[in-house]
Structure 1
């Protein structure tokens, strides 16, 4: 290859506006040995952050496009994203504007 590919920050630039940016990953990714009631409470808390996030649609779009297997992305758990894909690819409208 004689030249490098062009810039690609448009693939991740949306993350700069994410409501979770300063919260760390513990709220959005499972903890080994986490009891089910704690997991459910953590999921609800994470989804509350996602519900107020200005880039929620971009986040969900990213997770669906790359097949993100772990964590809460765009307000959906890994299981919810899998079920969404198993339902025949029916996905929420993911326009780039909120």
Structure 2
């Protein structure tokens, strides 16, 4: 939340991007479906982008790709296709 606020001002809180309480670090099927649907919608908007701030396990589950803490992914999705990782930004120590 702090990073989103510093980068863009007051963020819109979205439960699908949140951390599960009392559950393993995986994204629930309902939230994953919601995220993938929203990514398809966002990808269809020409000339615009959305920045989603979340946990590395949510990114990994959404992109079906491994991520590390601090990684940022640039994703694109089309109807009935898995999200595609267009770029990966990694924090190096």
Whichever of the two has the greater Rg, that structure is 1
Which structure shows the higher helix fraction?
1
TM-score (norm 1): 0.35
TM-score (norm 2): 0.36
Which structure shows the higher strand fraction?
2
